[in-house]
Amino acid sequence: KQTEEQMHMAETKMSDYYYEYTECDSAGSRWRVAIPHNLGTCSALPTPTRGTDCSFSCAAGEFLEMSTQQCTPCAAGSYSLGSGVRFDQWDTIPAGFTSLATYMDPGPSGEESQACNSSSWTPQGVYLESSRDECTVSLVYAVHLEKQGSVSFSYQYPDNNIFLEFYVQNEQCQEMAQTDDQKWIKLTTNGEWDTHTVNLKSGTNILYWRTTGVLVGGKMVKPVLLRNIQIEGVAYTSECFPCRPGWFSSAPGSSSCQPCPRNTSSNKGATSCTPCPDTQYSHEGWSQCKERPPCSEKDYFQIHTACDSEGKTQVMYRWVEPRICEENVTGAVALPPTGEREACPPCNPGYYNTNDSTCFPCPPGTHSDGTSVCEECPAGTEPVLGYEYKWWNVLPSNMKTSCFNVGNSKCDDMNGWEVAGDHIRSGAGGSDNDYLILNLHVPGFKLPTSLAGMTGSEFGRITFVFETICSADCELYFMMVKSTTVVESWEGSKERQSYTHIMTRNASVSYTWAFQRTNQAQDVRRYISDVVILYSVSVTNVQDGVASACRACALLSQSSQRSGSCIPCPAGFYIDRDTNRCQECPPNTYLSGHHTYGEDACLPCGPGSKSNKEHSRCYSDCSFSHTENNRTLTFDLSSLSTVASLTIGPSFTSKGTKYLHVFNVSLCGHQGKMAAVCTDNVTDIANKDMGSDSTQFVNSVDSFICQSTIIPADGRGFRMALASQSISLADTFVGEMAATGSCQRGRSAVMTIRCNPEKTDRGQLTVPSACPAGTCDGCTFHFLWESGSACPRCTQDDYHQIEGACKGGAQETLSVWNEPKLCIKGMSLPAKSSAPCEAIALWLKAGVGGGAFLAVLLVSLTCYFWKKNKRLEYKYSRLVMSANKDCELPVADSCALAEGEEPEDDVVYSHKPSLLGKLRAIANKVHPSLRDGSGGNDEKEEGRKEGRKEGEREIERERRSESW
């Protein structure tokens, strides 16, 4: 037998074949078989033998030697995980991985776009970088597990403009059950790595890392980075993995490799590292050394020394460490000499200067402006606690600076920022894509005593003044550590400006400024002159802060035993300047959260709004009145109080990705609570409950008006609609407008409510046709809400009455609305009314009455003139009769008597008297004494004369009368 086996071994060498295990049977057993490397090259192979149990595995640092089926330690220069595999070298995409790019939106004819042929996951040495475009790119790896295991990987995912999902399929391409937090990867802060782990079942597992960019607005997305993919659950590994170039393992049985130190290098599978020559250098983990370049201005930076005992400082220059340049070669620049000693800047506010020119914080209860000694706050005041940094001779003790690079650790020992007297600026870094980090730790916030009773949402605020000077695509990030999103960021050069962020909850927080000269992977410093300058940083209401000044506080009444001590004012109360007592703000005003001294701290609410009970915010209660042309219009918008949604689109990016804009609007009511919620979610927004606590959100925004970008479920091959890029458009209700703060002057949203009785109470929400996205500049948003609820309440001025004809002694009055009707609810139309009436028309009645009056008037006038004419005729008759008596003139035909006259017994002649007779009659009438002979002769003579004269005058009047 031995002779036969030796003959077989001679015919078939071990190098011609390798061993593999068969699939495990139902009993958990398997067979070891030999498989030739090249089919047909061997005449004989070893016979199959029973293999190890299917659950068998080797420990970390060992591999299964298939010829002996025994666990054997890995040789030096290699490593093994035992029952797992690790991928940490990404010079190329490792064997077994596949990068597939697809465009999920089919073209007009159903074909897929060919624009994604060049999109893929790109190896970058120590990590794998996703595509930056809108193509859907999947990284796929298939692994067979003999037992339950897991997969874990380190990743960097800083941009929510790209979607990253990780899911697992079985060999039938059926997706395995995963929770949302397993499938959808959480965002990371810039420059930080996180680890994601998912359990795997036994059998075949196909792993998918899939990304899709959304370039809405044309902004380039930051890619997803992957490294250190490790899979546990493989029953055995039949070989060890060699250490990658730049790494080594010096002892057998290693489970991992270590990077080569700085200024050393190694090849693949190295057991040790080789030092670089003196004229060359390398960073940690490099596989080869590079020639040292001549030193230049980019290789050194300046610092300010700490103040000495004489209060002096000076500028010094230092090489960027580790120094890679050569100083003593042709063309090299020497390190500049140290500058002259100069006076140190003063201490920051809240600090005082000691004899050795060291700044120390003022004791509690005292304050200083930084140039004087600390003083006690006067009675009736309290210290204003916080941080205020405007002089940068040394870095404050609660601030730290560091340098971080995604791809390597060559700048880990560098300072990311350097102090420079009146400012602090970004440092040199090791390469242009380093993250230069400055961190400020705040242990918590404590409201001043006077503000302790406030119910507002402001606990403190941070304000900083900065400037960026850039020639490349630099970016400054302002973040809160442990937050999933960047608070604000600025790209490119920015003029000197101030930024304020308000803290709405009381918690320990670390503020971080991160500056990156370019996000392109580079290993050189080309943009060393691109810098960010931070001039000042101020944080209010810090728990262990120092005081730069004192502020007035509210006092107890003088009758109290503790009079003179500070007390908190109730919510909505301010401190009276004259009495230092708490006074409630006037109605419909709100109290500024960081200022309560004086009545001017109570700011008036905008038009059409009112304040809540605590005077902490203004809001609309959905009803208001407006007076115009002596008419008061009352509006009731309660039907518009519930959150309304408006979907705009679809729109398409430059590569045709379909997306929608969804706006959620909370117009009024809710006691001023911002009820509109927009989410970056992983569930179908059409089915989610905005108030449900069970809905898993990646990020959410509460506002009066907010916006989300929606990728439809059929748009990119996702199995559900995705919401991202949620932003707030209205944080503060100010009346007709609401404002927030990313644009230079803040975003603003203008909601126009239009009365349209033909619409329902909820009405219709639209945007201007000229700006289909709701805005034309990205900062001012306009909305139109047409609704029947926007019409004023009906009053008596909105209808008129119509009177009918008089029928059967009754007349009906009907009330009708004015056309067009522009009111709702309110007063109802009065019911039809009826009143008695006569058949004759009013105009006819008036005509008859007027005619009768004129007839009576004419009759009266006729009688009056007839009677007057009779009197004249009587007088004339008397005159004629008198003339006939005295002068024998004919008498008048009339015999009428005037009223009250007695008839005389004068003789009346029927013939016409002569003129002499008339005169005689007149004389006898006027002077009866003469006629009777009772007087003297002289008197009789005089009487005759007078009678003759009177008769002559009478005759003359008669003639004139007859002539007329």
Q: Where are the domains of the chain?
A: 119-228, 382-547, 551-632, 636-682+699-734+746-793, 799-836
CB 945 within 8 A of CB 953: no
CATH 3.40.1000, domain 551-632, yes or no: no
**Domain 382-547: CATH architecture, name and number where available:** Sandwich (2.60)
CB 352 within 8 A of CB 359: yes
Return the bridge partners of 627, or none.
Answer: 632
Copy the structure tokens of residue 701: 């925004």
CB 324 within 8 A of CB 295: no
Phi first, then psi, for residue 884 (nearest 5°) are: -70, -35
Contacts of 391 (CB under 8 A, 6+ apart): 345, 346, 347, 348, 370, 421, 422
CATH number, domain 119-228: 2.60.120.260
Q: Is the pLDDT of residue 107 over 60?
A: no
pLDDT band at 56 (very low <50, low <70, confident <90, very high): confident
Distance CA 729, CA 742 (A): 9
Sign of the dihedral defined by the CA atoms of residues 47, 51, 57, 59, in that order: negative
- State mean pLDDT over 60-67: 85
Distance CA 468, CA 527 (A): 13
CATH number, domain 636-682+699-734+746-793: 2.70.130
pTM over 0.85: no
- Higher per-residue confidence, 924 vs 252: 252
Element (H, E) at 844: helix 842-887
pLDDT in tens, 729-778: 776 665 543 334 445 566 788 888 888 888 888 888 898 888 877 888 77
Q: Is the pLDDT of residue 77 over 90?
A: yes
Average pLDDT, whole number, for the chain?
78
Identical fold at 119-228 and 382-547?
yes
pLDDT in tens, 526-565: 888 899 999 999 999 898 889 988 888 887 765 554 555 7
- Higher per-residue confidence, 515 vs 25: 515
pLDDT band at 926 (very low <50, low <70, confident <90, very high): very low
Distance CA 153, CA 208 (A): 12
Distance CA 726, CA 479 (A): 17
